[in-house]
Amino acid sequence: MQKMIAVDRLARPDEHIMVPVERIREARIDQGLLANNVMPFEEDFLKGRLHGIATGEMQAMEAAGRTLFDFPDAPWEFQLDMARQVWDESRHAEIFSKLLEYVGSYIGEFPESEILWSCTQVDDPACRVAGINRGLEGLACDVFEQIIRMGQKMGDPIIERAVDYVLADEITHVRMGSKWMRKLTEGDPERLQRAQQFQDNIDALFNFEGFRTSKEEAPQVPLMLGSQQIDFDATLTISRETRLLAGFTDEEIDRLMKAAARSSAY
Least CB distance from residue 123 to another protein, whole Å?
Answer: 19
- Written as one letter, the residue type at 231 is D
For another protein, the closer CB: 60 or 181: 60
The string of DSSP codes covering 106-158 is: -TTSSPEE-HHHHGGGSS-HHHHIIIIIIIIHHHHHHHHHHHHHHHHHHT-HH
Angle between helices 250-263 and 189-205 (to 10 degrees): 40
Find out whether 243 and 253 touch, Cβ atoms under 8 Å. yes
Return the beta strands (E) in the chain as ranges.
18-19, 112-113, 212-214, 220-225, 228-233, 236-238
Least CB distance from residue 59 to another protein, whole Å?
Answer: 12
DSSP run (H or E) holding 20: none
Find out whether 256 and 238 touch, Cβ atoms under 8 Å. yes
For another protein, the closer CB: 41 or 153: 41
Least CB distance from residue 110 to another protein, whole Å?
Answer: 5
Q: Could you tell me which of 241, 262, 218 has the C-alpha nearest to residue 40?
A: 218
For another protein, the closer CB: 54 or 181: 54
Least CB distance from residue 9 to another protein, whole Å?
Answer: 6
Binding site for another protein (CB under 8 A): 7-20, 23-24, 26-28, 30-31, 33, 42, 44, 108-111, 114
For another protein, the closer CB: 39 or 93: 39
Least CB distance from residue 79 to another protein, whole Å?
Answer: 27
CA distance 165 to 163: 5
For another protein, the closer CB: 15 or 216: 15
Least CB distance from residue 149 to another protein, whole Å?
Answer: 24
For another protein, the closer CB: 112 or 170: 112
